[in-house]
Chain A
């Protein structure tokens, strides 16, 4: 018996797909007689019941309070801990996003338990704990570790690695959750989003990245055009971030983000070890580079030895035709 609890993440009311991936992963991990319970916070949280149910949740605990519409670590931690106690959770999972990783660590300290960060594979131990595989050294290596008997065992799941399933016949039962009142000492007062909403490299199923081969910051538009045509995010090598061509949020690799999209297109990137570490677990890798000897070609599924200034516009055109 027992339950697997999954925290659902919402941004401006809409539910993150990575959260549904975590619910489906929980369903697959749940033993017979073990319930999958989800938790949603904020205004109209109950609206998540259909999506959570379809992904595999039996029940949805909700705290319908506008105080949770924006993230506050202490309030979210209290709600998650209260939900874990209410359903007798033996496992707590959530998406490995900025929010998920933040609140999970705070709750792990509160419950004095083990938390596996950013796992790409996850299993149960014989004792009902968790064993997971996670990237370390920014993906230069993978560690298997377990949270043997600490209860509940916790993990955050790398987005886009675990498949979300969809059973539209299943709707989660909505249960209101009581959370002990308390005033958080730090709260998000506003969310600033770029005028043009950009996908984040860590969450996007497709990433198109540019490097020094683009020669100048204004040429990044070639990378952006292809990313938009593919519906993907814009990434960058450390060299061009350090040069100030693009914001650090776009950096892929060590001291940037580790990504594993289904398609990664490296444009004018030679493939320094610290960049390769951050993207080599992508499903399909495309490399476009003038230098046939560039290390990136050693790991590329498809390579084009050519000038990015000629190839990228043509490729964008061809993708738009598909």
Chain B
């Protein structure tokens, strides 16, 4: 079985967001780019399946400009066998459907029984690509998965929903979009980093894989910072007094309880 893990390169979650000069995007100059955390969970689960003898190969796939390459190398250093970049610098700012279409073209070219992705790319926070890949590839998909078992034909996936878990059974080939799994992603060892330099990273221009995308389906108008919040009131007194006063304020002033 072959597992293909879709990887997105995103700014580190500690990055302070500044609005760029265009007023529409974030100025990420100097930001550290990392593998999107949920993609990293997905990759860890894929590597564990390979180590357990369930998968013969774990490949990673990115879509975007050449700046995605270091993130793909990081995935190789964690243990992926090979990497492919569907190259189109315009994809970094494209809508989720355009990114899903580029990834789907890459997946068709690669072939894979299981496609893994993160449940969302941290930053854009859309969470659309996983379900879209299921649709575009005409496969079942399961999102928000935190645990799965798989044999050569079928899988069972545990999906986190509000206050409960859905247990989903399905057939391969399939697309699984991972939530935080039960296993912490491994660190890339020095040996892994050295080995990654020799592993194949194929760059395939998107234009050669898929038909040209049509007009964008989503147009960004602006990006703004949240309105600054005023620091409110610090209540004075001992625990009993402040608790009593807070309960009163929540009821009478804020009217939220």
CB distance from A20 to the nearest CB of B (A): 16
- At the interface, yes or no: A167 with Cβ under 8 Å from chain B? no
With A189-B167, A194-B163, A304-B246 known to touch, is A314 a contact of B131 (CB < 8 Å)? no
CB distance from B152 to the nearest CB of A (A): 15
- Evaluate contact between A97 and B162: CB separation under 8 angstroms: yes
Contact of A109 among B135, B231, B247 (CB under 8 A): B135
Contact of B235 among A73, A114, A146, A302 (CB under 8 A): A302
A136 and B13 alpha carbons, distance in the complex (Å): 12
* Residues of chain B from 84 to 143 with CB closer than 8 A to chain A in the complex: 95-97, 100, 122-132, 134-136, 139-143
- Evaluate contact between A186 and B169: CB separation under 8 angstroms: yes
- Evaluate contact between B247 and A117: CB separation under 8 angstroms: no
A105 and B124 alpha carbons, distance in the complex (Å): 14
Residues of B within 8 A of A314 (CB): 239-240, 242-244
Segment at the A interface, from B51-59, B72-80, B222-230: B222-230
A138 and B244 alpha carbons, distance in the complex (Å): 34
- Evaluate contact between A102 and B17: CB separation under 8 angstroms: no
* Residues of chain A from 65 to 106 with CB closer than 8 A to chain B in the complex: 70-71, 73-74, 77, 97-99, 101-106
- At the interface, yes or no: B219 with Cβ under 8 Å from chain A? yes
- At the interface, yes or no: A199 with Cβ under 8 Å from chain B? yes
* Residues of chain B from 163 to 213 with CB closer than 8 A to chain A in the complex: 163-171, 174, 179-180
With A299-B231, A302-B246 known to touch, is A189 a contact of B257 (CB < 8 Å)? no
Contact of B122 among A150, A194, A255, A262 (CB under 8 A): A255
- At the interface, yes or no: A315 with Cβ under 8 Å from chain B? yes
A216 and B220 alpha carbons, distance in the complex (Å): 44
A198 and B128 alpha carbons, distance in the complex (Å): 27
With A73-B134, A146-B221, A186-B168 known to touch, is A109 a contact of B235 (CB < 8 Å)? no
With A137-B17, A192-B164, A300-B231 known to touch, is A146 a contact of B143 (CB < 8 Å)? no
- Evaluate contact between A102 and B243: CB separation under 8 angstroms: no
Residues of B within 8 A of A134 (CB): 125
- Evaluate contact between B17 and A140: CB separation under 8 angstroms: yes
- Evaluate contact between A188 and B166: CB separation under 8 angstroms: yes
- Evaluate contact between A145 and B218: CB separation under 8 angstroms: yes
Chain A residue with the shortest CB-CB distance to B165: A192
- Evaluate contact between B254 and A114: CB separation under 8 angstroms: no
- Evaluate contact between B242 and A306: CB separation under 8 angstroms: yes
- Evaluate contact between A138 and B125: CB separation under 8 angstroms: yes
- At the interface, yes or no: A258 with Cβ under 8 Å from chain B? yes
CB distance from B190 to the nearest CB of A (A): 25
- Evaluate contact between A200 and B163: CB separation under 8 angstroms: yes
Residues of B within 8 A of A14 (CB): none
Number of interface residues of A (CB under 8 A): 98
Residues of B within 8 A of A306 (CB): 238-239, 242
CB distance from A227 to the nearest CB of B (A): 12
- Evaluate contact between A249 and B160: CB separation under 8 angstroms: yes
- Evaluate contact between A137 and B125: CB separation under 8 angstroms: yes
CB distance from A300 to the nearest CB of B (A): 6
- Evaluate contact between B14 and A274: CB separation under 8 angstroms: yes
CB distance from B44 to the nearest CB of A (A): 14
Give the A-B contact count at a CB cut-off of 8 A.
272
- Evaluate contact between B226 and A139: CB separation under 8 angstroms: yes
- Evaluate contact between B169 and A144: CB separation under 8 angstroms: no
Residues of B within 8 A of A230 (CB): 257
- Evaluate contact between A185 and B180: CB separation under 8 angstroms: no
CB distance from B250 to the nearest CB of A (A): 7
Residues of B within 8 A of A118 (CB): 125
Residues of A within 8 A of B1 (CB): none
Residues of B within 8 A of A26 (CB): none
A281 and B229 alpha carbons, distance in the complex (Å): 9
Residues of A within 8 A of B124 (CB): 136
A186 and B140 alpha carbons, distance in the complex (Å): 6
Residues of B within 8 A of A108 (CB): 97, 128, 132
- Residue among A11, A73, A148, A273 with the highest chain B CB neighbour number at 10 A: A73
A294 and B95 alpha carbons, distance in the complex (Å): 38
* Residues of chain A from 261 to 296 with CB closer than 8 A to chain B in the complex: 262-263, 273-274, 280-281, 283-286, 292
Residues of B within 8 A of A138 (CB): 13, 122, 125
- Evaluate contact between A73 and B140: CB separation under 8 angstroms: yes
Residues of B within 8 A of A200 (CB): 162-163
- Evaluate contact between B247 and A186: CB separation under 8 angstroms: no
Which residues of A are in contact with B by a Cβ distance under 8 Å? Answer: 11, 70-71, 73-74, 77, 97-99, 101-110, 112-118, 131, 134-148, 150, 184-194, 197-200, 202-203, 206, 230, 248-249, 254-255, 258, 262-263, 273-274, 280-281, 283-286, 292, 297-307, 310-311, 314-315, 317-319, 321-322
Which residues of B are in contact with A by a Cβ distance under 8 Å? Answer: 11, 13-17, 19, 26, 37-38, 95-97, 100, 122-132, 134-136, 139-144, 146, 157, 159-171, 174, 179-180, 216-226, 229, 231-235, 238-240, 242-244, 246-247, 249-251, 254, 256-257
